[in-house]
Amino acid sequence: MKTIRDVLWKDLLIEWRARSRTVALLSFAYTILLLFAFAIGPDAAALRQHAGAYLWLGLLLCSSLLLDRTMRTEFEAGAIQSLMLVPVSSSGLFFGKALANTLQLWLVGAVSVPLVFVVCDASLTESVGLMALTLVMGAAGLAAPGTLYAAMIARLSGRQLLLPLMLFPLVVPVVVAAVKSTSLVMLGDPMDQIGSWLVLLGCFNLVYWSLCGILFGRVVEA
What pLDDT, in 10s, does the model give residues 120-177?
Answer: 888 888 889 999 999 999 999 999 999 888 888 877 776 678 888 888 999 999 999 9
Q: How far apart are CA 179 and CA 52, in angstroms?
A: 5
pLDDT at 171: 92
Q: Rg of the chain over CA atoms, in angstroms?
A: 18
3-state secondary structure of 81: helix
- Give CA–CA dist 198/204, Å, rounded: 10
Read off the amino acid at residue 144: A
List of E strands, the chain: none
pLDDT in tens, 161-181: 888 888 899 999 999 999 999
**pLDDT over 80 at 27, yes or no:** yes
Mean pLDDT of the region 79-108: 78
* Dihedral sign of CA atoms 44, 59, 160, 15 in order: positive
Is residue 57 scored above 80 in pLDDT?
yes
Give the integer Cα–Cα distance in Å for 125 and 111: 19
Q: Are 197 and 177 in contact (CB under 8 A)?
A: yes
Give the other-Cβ count within 10 Å of 109's Cβ.
26
Angstrom distance (rounded) from CA 204 to CA 179: 14
- AA identity, residue 87: P
| Cβ neighbour number for residue 155 with a 10 Å cutoff | 12
